[in-house]
Structures are given as structure tokens and as C-alpha cells.
Amino acid sequence: MCVSPELTVTTYRALRDAGVSRTELTARLATGDLTRLRRGVYATGDACPAVSAAASHGGALACVTAARHLGLWVLCEETSVHVWLRASGHRRHDPAAGCDCVEHWDEGPAVDSFGIPSVPRILRQILACRGVEEFFVMLESALRHGSITAEGLGWLRDHTNPAARDAMELARSDADSGLESLLRWRLRRLGLSIRTQRQIHAVGVVDILIGNRLLIEADGVDNHASAPLRHKDLVRDANAAAWRYVTLHFDYALIVHDWDLVERAILGQILAGHHL
């Protein structure tokens, strides 16, 4: 997670108000302590690259870039910076000249002229820009991290569409990862009996239980790669099998890029009656 953008991007006026003289400003620019983003706008030496990119484009972080900046789950892999220009903003980069920033022109208040939108507004931007699936994943992350208030949820309900309200109904605050959220979202359309975060005897807490016997695990990269953790996973699977459970593991690449195979694997087990 990056530090808050208002601490890292500042204006000429704010620097002058804080007692920074013109000479001192020139000296700080020369040493790299300050970087000029555009006329009258500066970044301090430790400004996060996305914040600087958005400011030099003319706005603040928006949408998936803002969510990532706040440490929330974002599935989208693109690296373009999403910039909040607001209704009255002025673009500083020329998209025709090769800038690949994604612009957001929705109106709303910010903390200051470089503040990012509130979490409910970020969610609304994601819905418009990336669709309801990505909206759902970020919403579960915001719920998990306590980043959205009851008031924020109420505002979102009033300022969004039926598909998003439907996703809000389904959203929970106990999802362990964005992958697990995505898995649950996509499994929903199969109309199966699904339970999440269940304590299973001799196994522990599993991500998803389908029917009574089929265990589905979404494996993140970091928590299953090392040899000791791999061994732990194998012990867990062996215990599950001893108690007549069937375990299927899916990783990021499978869930995100090969969903068809994930669905066929799960349905194959169900057709064989392994969930009963």
C-alpha cells in the first residue's frame, strides 16, 4: 500500500504557505527531493509512481489504480493509470501522443484537489469501467478490510444499478482473497449449494464446500509455493480423503484465465456424485 497521495503531491501555493522560499524550492528541485509534475504541482521524493502519473495527467488516482493504491484486491492486470479528472478537470497528457491513462470524468468531492475519491465512489467507477464482477471482488475486499462504512454502502446502493445491488446482496466480509471472491461469484451461476469458510473435521477451514463432500480451494501464489507449505497442503488433502471428502485446488491462472476448465472440473465431480 502506498502512502496517502495528499502527503506526496503538493502545490506551489501549499509549499509557499508552509514557508518554503523560492530559493529553497529551487534547491529541493535540484536535489530531487521535489519533482515538478506540471506547472505549480510537485511530488515529494517518495511519491508513489501511480500518484505522480495521475497528477501529471491532470488528476488524482481513480478506479482500479486507486483501489490498488489503498491495498484492496484488484483482479485487473493492466498497468494503465486510471485518473480521476472529475467533471471540471483538464487533461494534461495527450492520449494521441501515446499516453495510455484511462480517464474518469464523474463528479464528486475529494479530500483536496489531489485527493482520491472515497471508497464507494471508487467502487462505482470500477463498476462503470470494469464491470460487475470486478466490482464484487473489490467490494468484498473493502468489507474484509473495513474500508467501507454502513453509510458508504447506503450511498452506493442509491447510486448504482440493479446488477451492482444484486452483487452487494451476495457480498460477504470474510472472503480470504480476491480469488476466493471471484470463484464464488462465478460459481453462483451454476446454481449449486455452496457454503464458504466452513470448518471441516480433520481438515480445518476450507474456502468453499459444495454439497456435503466437495471441497474447493483457491490457492494464492505466496501461501502454497514453499516445500513446507506444500507438505501441509498434502497432509490436509490426505486427511480430507480419509474422511471421504474430495478436494479440488485452483490457482490464479486457472480461475482468471481458464474458467471453462475450472467449471468442467467441478461439474465432473458433481456428475460423479462426489459432492453427496
**Cβ proximity to Zn ion, 82 vs 121, nearer residue:** 82
Residue 164: is it exposed, middle or buried by C-beta count within 10 angstroms (0-12/13-18/19+)?
Answer: buried
Instruction: Write out the three cell numbers for 33.
Output: 527531493
Instruction: Compare residues 85 and 102 and give the one whose CB is closer to Zn ion.
Output: 102
Q: How far is the CB of 229 from Zn ion (least distance, A)?
A: 35
How far apart are alpha carbons 62 and 117 in whole angstroms? 7
Closest approach of Zn ion to the CB of residue 63, in Å: 3
| Displacement of CA 1 from its chain's centroid (Å) | 11
Place of cell 449449486: 192
Write down the least CB distance from residue 75 to Zn ion, Å: 13
Of residues 15 and 101, the one with the C-beta less far from Zn ion:
101
Q: How far is the CB of 54 from Zn ion (least distance, A)?
A: 8
Q: Is 118 helix (H, G, I), strand (E, B) or coil?
A: coil
Q: Which is nearer to Zn ion, 81 or 266 (CB)?
A: 81
- 51/206 with CB nearer Zn ion: 51
Based on CB atoms, which residue is closest to Zn ion, 101 or 171? 101
* Min dist. Cβ of residue 125 to Zn ion (A): 6
The DSSP string of 186-245 is: HHGGGT--EEEEEEETTTEEEEEEETTTEEEEEE-STTT-SHHHHHHHHHHHHHHHHTT-
What's the rounded Cα separation, in Å, for the pair 70 and 66?
A: 6
| Nearest distance from C-beta of residue 139 to Zn ion, angstroms | 15
Closest to Zn ion by CB, 61 or 248:
61
Distance CA 96, CA 98 (A): 5
User: In angstroms, what is the minimal distance from the CB of 234 to Zn ion?
Assistant: 41
Q: Cα separations (Å) of 256 from 58, 74, 227, 262?
A: 33, 12, 25, 10
Binding site for Zn ion (CB under 5 A): 57, 63, 82, 93, 99, 101-102, 129
Terminal CA-CA length for the chain = 43
